[in-house]
């Protein structure tokens, strides 16, 4: 896991909320993650990441949940029912765009086999996706039922692997190789865990410095925007209700801008937030500020983790996405002048 042992993300990002025990979404009690990487090392770079709330295995059929659609250019399966009923009935599966529908079908397969679901005749599978078509032959829909079942079955409460793994295998973000990232932050007495699938455009910006991959200029289609997106899963053990989870989900999308997201037309930016807590009277909204800050910081950290852990990958048509290195981050701040696109007219003072 330690590709960059010398990067202290918490300090680098000037975060104020303490990280959780493993700085991962699995710090939220009962939340597990499983992944399947689907790749041939050449034309196929795809996979599945599943966030599995163990609470759904037991006596509860659903958890409080909500969605925020930051930019709806994406295919989040299950969104309308979550918005209406405010609950999550299944694990959340992330995968590749064109494979999302068979992944949802596989999630139904998995659910129907679960104890307690012998008579179930309706389910709302939740599947998010980003487009790995730049690095992977997405039209072949390489993610099949067995890959989804494996990810669901191998979920554990350990800190998940990050970077070019599972649904992150074929991702690019902010000019670099993207992928799966996770982090957690304490918000008052509770913890907020985030897992992201990063595939969005923009210019990576750390402490005001724009960081671009060294060889970007060599690839003519480097900036191709089609299908880029960001899926954000937010989990908490705070007993917030669905409306409040919607407010948290908004902040997760807002946090993308802190590292340089440009929120382009083609980017399907979604956040799904759920609570693992037993239902009770919801806390007063003014107390949510601690959870909001934790959500923002955990999202920002998870995004940066996804980049730091993703190795340089060469895929379809010989295209290469470059992994972000500690050296990139450590480059002299002296080079951090404003970029050279002067405005047509300067402000007069």
Contacting a copy of itself within 2-61 (CB under 8 A): 2-23
- Structure tokens that stand for 179 in this block: 């992928």
Among positions 114-173, residues that touch a copy of itself (CB under 8 A) are 120-125, 131, 133, 138-139, 141
- # binding residues, a copy of itself (CB under 8 A): 114
Does position 348 interact with a copy of itself (CB under 8 A)? The reply is yes
* Residue 345 interacts with a copy of itself (CB under 8 A): yes or no: yes
Q: For a copy of itself, give the closer residue by CB, 85 or 216.
A: 85
Looking at 35-43, 51-59, 169-177, 200-208, which segment touches a copy of itself (CB under 8 A)? 200-208
CB atoms within 10 A of CB 342: 8
Candidates 31-39, 40-48, 103-111, 172-180: pick the segment binding a copy of itself (CB under 8 A): 103-111
Whether 267 is catalytic is yes
At 165 the three-state DSSP class reads coil
Residue 52 tokens read as: 């599995």
Q: What whole-number distance in Å separates Cα of residue 236 and Cα of residue 250? A: 15
Beta bridge partners of residue 96, listed in sequence order: 130
Residues of this chain, 240-279, that bind a copy of itself according to CB under 8 A: 241-243, 247, 250-251, 253-258, 262-266, 268, 270, 279
- Select which of 24, 229, 275, 306 is catalytic: 229
Choose the stretch contacting a copy of itself; rule: CB under 8 A; options: 149-157, 169-177, 230-238, 239-247: 239-247
Residues in the chain: 349
Catalytic choice (269, 275, 276, 306): 269
Q: Is 229 helix (H, G, I), strand (E, B) or coil?
A: strand
Residue 146 makes CB contacts below 8 A (sequence gap 6+) with none
Kindly tell me which of 4 and 147 has the beta carbon lying closer to a copy of itself: 4
Number of Cα atoms under 13 Å in the Cβ half of residue 203: 10
For tokens 């050296």, name the residue.
327
The conformation of residue 312, written as its DSSP 8-state character, comes to P
Q: Which active-site residues does the annotation give?
A: 229, 267, 269
């Amino acid at each position: 896991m330690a590709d960059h042992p010398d990067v202290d993300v918490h300090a680098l990002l000037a975060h104020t909320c303490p990280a959780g025990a493993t700085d991962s979404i699995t710090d939220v009690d009962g939340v597990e993650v499983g992944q399947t990487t689907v790749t041939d090392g050449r034309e196929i770079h795809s996979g599945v990441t599943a966030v599995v709330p163990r609470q759904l295995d037991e006596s509860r059929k659903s958890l409080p949940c909500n969605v925020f659609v930051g930019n709806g250019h994406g295919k989040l399966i299950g969104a309308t029912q979550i918005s209406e009923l405010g609950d999550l009935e299944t694990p959340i599966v992330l995968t590749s765009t064109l494979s999302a529908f068979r992944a949802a079908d596989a999630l139904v397969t998995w659910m129907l086999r679960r104890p307690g679901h012998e008579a179930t005749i309706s389910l709302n599978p939740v599947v998010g996706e980003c487009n790995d078509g730049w690095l992977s032959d997405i039209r072949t829909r390489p993610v099949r039922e067995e890959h989804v079942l494996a990810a669901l079955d191998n979920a554990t409460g350990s800190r998940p692997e990050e970077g070019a793994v599972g649904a992150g295998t074929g991702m690019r973000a902010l000019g670099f190789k993207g992928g799966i990232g996770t982090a957690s932050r304490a918000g008052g007495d509770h913890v907020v865990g985030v897992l992201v699938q990063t595939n969005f455009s923009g210019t990576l910006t750390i402490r005001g410095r724009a960081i671009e991959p060294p060889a970007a200029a060599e690839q003519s289609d480097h900036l191709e925007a089609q299908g880029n997106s960001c899926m954000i899963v937010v989990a908490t053990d705070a007993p917030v209700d669905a409306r409040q989870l919607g407010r948290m989900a908004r902040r997760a999308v807002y946090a993308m801008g802190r590292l340089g997201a440009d929120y382009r037309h083609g980017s399907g930016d979604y956040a799904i937030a759920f609570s693992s807590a037993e239902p009770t009277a919801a806390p007063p909204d003014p107390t949510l500020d601690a959870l909001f800050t934790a959500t923002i910081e955990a999202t920002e950290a998870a995004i940066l983790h996804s980049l730091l852990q993703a190795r340089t990958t060469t895929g379809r048509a010989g295209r290469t996405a470059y992994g972000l290195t500690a050296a990139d981050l450590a480059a002299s701040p002296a080079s951090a002048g404003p970029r050279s696109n002067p405005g047509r007219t300067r402000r007069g003072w």
